[in-house]
Amino acid sequence: MEHVVIVGLGLIGGSLAKAFAAHTEDYVAGIDTDPAVIEAALAEGAIAKEGTAEDLAHADFVYLCLYPQADLDFLKAHAPEIRKGAVVTDVCGIKGEICGKLAACAEQNGFFYCGSHPMAGTEKHGYFASYADLFKGASYLLAPCGAPEEVVDRLRAKAFSLGFGRCVLTTPEEHDRMIAFTSQVPHALACAYVLSPCCPKHRGFSAGSYRDVSRVANINETLWTELFLDNAGPLTAELDTLLENLSAIRNAIASGDRSGLCELLRRGRLIKEELGE
């Protein structure tokens, strides 16, 4: 049984707490600024108690599950309270902007830091959308940033016990480049897509394609504005790639270039086929 502190019981922090409760024997304390969330988490058994400085002083693991800047602020404010030798991680969707700062804080204060990013989510957010099986079979990205191998191994083992299906070692730079493509572009796209004047009239004319592209437009704009701006370089580059490829398809359609259009679509199909998807 290990002592775990989860800071921020939103969709990810809340689901981590519920996964710990469902799948481990660990003792989990939860911190959240919303008393209604703490009350619900206690009532549902997602946490054993509301987290305090004392929990940080006994922590084996601390999961920072706030927004990026808030994670930094929390760690700086509470670093002296955290047990020497504890393993601290975050769950942010961007890594380059924060990992270095969090790692430096860890080094100065005698605990360990390894960045992580659970590749799981829904179009909903907040504690009341959280659930124990959110991570079932999902990928868990680990950005060690200099953490000893033993620390990475402990976080990895914890991830598997929480239901993750796979762990991937990465660097903050690679992480941010890949996430720009796999996650951030689809979120930007969903918002851009639903801004069409046709969108409010889609009912009856739509099926799976509309549903899939628009799903994550139901966005937490405060969080995603921060995530997008923290990853402005790689994300702008990916958006430029998409704008270029989409414009090529648009231009082939507008000019009636049948073979050029067919070739662009064919290239898309072959990429998916080669991936076996």
Q: Which of residues 157-186 bind a second copy (CB under 8 A)?
A: 166, 168, 170, 175, 177-183, 185-186
Q: Which of 138, 143, 145, 162 binds a second copy (CB under 8 A)?
A: 138
Identify whether the C-beta of residue 175 lies closer than 8 Å to the C-beta of residue 141. Answer: yes
Nearer to a second copy, 86 or 223 (CB): 223
Measure the CA–CA gap between 179 and 172, rounded to whole angstroms: 10
Q: Which of 119, 131, 136, 156 binds a second copy (CB under 8 A)?
A: 119
Identity of the amino acid at 72: L
Helices (H) and strands (E) in the chain, counts: 12, 9
Residue 150 CB, nearest approach to a second copy (Å): 22
What percent of the chain is helix, strand and coil (3-state, nearest 5)?
55, 15, 30
Q: Which of residues 239-258 bind a second copy (CB under 8 A)?
A: 239-243, 245-250, 253-254, 256, 258
Nearer to a second copy, 157 or 270 (CB): 270
> Is residue 193 involved in binding a second copy (CB under 8 A)?
yes
- Applying CB under 8 A, the span of 18-26, 74-82, 83-91, 265-273 interacting with a second copy comes to 265-273
Identify whether the C-beta of residue 194 lies closer than 8 Å to the C-beta of residue 214. Answer: yes
Q: Which of 17, 141, 155, 162 binds a second copy (CB under 8 A)?
A: 141
Residue 101 CB, nearest approach to a second copy (Å): 19
Q: Which of residues 53-82 bind a second copy (CB under 8 A)?
A: none
**Where are the strands (E) in the chain, listed by range?**
3-7, 27-31, 49-50, 61-64, 87-90, 112-113, 115-119, 139-143, 166-169
Nearer to a second copy, 55 or 238 (CB): 238
- Applying CB under 8 A, the span of 28-36, 59-67, 75-83, 190-198 interacting with a second copy comes to 190-198
Of 93, 83, 113, nearest to 101 (Cα)? 113
Measure the CA–CA gap between 67 and 48, rounded to whole angstroms: 24
Helices (H), 24-67: 35-43, 53-58
Q: Which of residues 202-241 bind a second copy (CB under 8 A)?
A: 202-210, 212-222, 224-225, 228-229, 232, 235-236, 238-241
Measure the CA–CA gap between 53 and 20, rounded to whole angstroms: 21
- Applying CB under 8 A, the span of 34-42, 97-105, 143-151, 263-271 interacting with a second copy comes to 263-271
Residue 159 CB, nearest approach to a second copy (Å): 13
Nearer to a second copy, 52 or 218 (CB): 218
> Is residue 121 involved in binding a second copy (CB under 8 A)?
yes
Helix 96-109 × helix 221-230 angle, to 10°: 90
